Amino acid sequence: MPLPPRWLRRLLLAPFVVLLAFLVVTTLPVWALLAAAASPLVPGRLRPLRLLWIGCVYLVWDAAALLSLFVLWVVSGFGWRTRSPAFQRAHYVLAGWFLRVLFWQARWTLRLRIDVVGTDPDTALPGRPELVLCRHAGPGDSFILIHGLVNWFNREPRIVLKDSLQWDPAIDVLLNRLPNRFIAPTAERGEETVRQVGHLASGLDDNDAFVIFPEGGNFTPKRRLRAIARLRSLGLERMALRAERMRHVLAPQPGGMLAALDAAPDAGVIFVAHTGLDRMLTVADVWRELPMDKRIVMRFWSVPPEDVPTGRQERIDWLFDWWARIDAWIAANR
């Protein structure tokens, strides 16, 4: 379904979410009784109640974020100063607070544990910007990564992400006020997209983190095969063979990384792998996995700017080398 224009999302979709949250909260006892009655009929401990609670928390979370963002919009002079440094910082602080609330609930309801191993962005290159290249295996990984960058490492992320995420009104409003880029699927590998990525990576300061997912989408076996076939169709047989040897990741698309490295030559590079949410792609997956009792592991590798290759083909080979390393790590830790 095509994404509605921004004005329509602001006038209809955002108020609808706030109204829906109000209706769900005021009728929550009825839904809770129905979920409790259904719980003995399905496998898993209180699965319908847990799923109901997760949905309600996220809906209220979205609505509360929208109301807070509306207040910031009014205080900024009805949007006049939202791009000023003070209001940009206020939006990052607000994002950090809401992400902390979301993950506090996830840990309590789903019994999730998140462990970080390896070199983190605080100790790797203090006082320097970072380019963060992360594998993609579901919407949960994006939330966890940004939560970590904002709340654990005190970074201000700039993110390249799919435009379909703008269906979520809070994400839509918040991330469009900050320096981020939503990329349409039809433009994923186009020159215009590469130009936008390079522009976004320009002018990073010492607490910025530029975040990109080089695979261009969540990992699935079918997408893996399509990525390999695309490389072959472009005559890149050597890369296709390398991609075939990687079983848990998609072949990375180097265009965005190359543009970011050119735009931010003094930045360090952080590669991020994670495992634990690999099978959590849809609502049906969440239903199947409840209760989760999962340990999510995030692995950081740091590369200082002086160790980043300089030639274009060298950088592409370097990216594939790192993706093979990430694939091996996932195989050993999932």
pLDDT in tens, 207-230: 999 999 999 888 888 999 999 999
Lowest-confidence segment of 65-69, 197-201, 271-275 by average pLDDT: 271-275
pLDDT for residue 156: 95
Residue 145 has which token pair? Answer: 């990564």
Confidence label for 126 from pLDDT (cuts 50, 70 and 90): low
pLDDT for residue 185: 66
Question: What residue spans of the chain are helical by DSSP H?
Answer: 6-8, 14-26, 28-38, 47-75, 85-110, 121-124, 139-147, 169-177, 191-200, 221-233, 237-245, 255-263, 283-289, 312-333
Contacts of 142 by beta carbon, 8 Å cutoff, 6+ apart: 136, 161, 213
Q: Mean of the pLDDT values across residues 318-324?
A: 97
- Between vectors from CA 54 to CA 49 and to CA 60, what angle results, nearest 5°? 120
Rounded to a whole number, what is the largest CA-CA distance in the chain?
63
Q: In this structure, is the dihedral angle defined by the CA atoms of residues 240, 242, 244 and 247, taken in order, positive or negative?
A: negative
pLDDT for residue 47: 79
Q: Mean of the pLDDT values across residues 169-196?
A: 84
**141 vs 122: which has the higher pLDDT:** 141
Give which of 227, 179, 184 is closest to 199, Cα–Cα.
Answer: 179
Residue 219 has which token pair? Answer: 């990992």
Question: What residue spans of 255-311 are helical by DSSP H?
Answer: 255-263, 283-289
Q: Mean of the pLDDT values across residues 191-196?
A: 86
> Does residue 99 sit in helix, strand or coil?
helix
Q: Beta strand pairing status for 268-275 and 294-303? A: antiparallel
Contacts of 93 by beta carbon, 8 Å cutoff, 6+ apart: none
Q: Residue 302's beta-bridge partner residues?
A: 270
Confidence label for 276 from pLDDT (cuts 50, 70 and 90): low
Q: What is the pTM (predicted TM-score) of this model?
A: 0.90
Q: Mean of the pLDDT values across residues 49-72?
A: 93
> Does residue 218 sit in helix, strand or coil?
coil
* CB 263 within 8 Å of CB 198: yes
* CB 102 within 8 Å of CB 282: no
What number of residues does the chain have? 334
pLDDT reading at 289 higher than 70: no
pLDDT for residue 292: 57
Q: Mean of the pLDDT values across residues 238-253?
A: 94
Q: Mean of the pLDDT values across residues 149-154?
A: 90
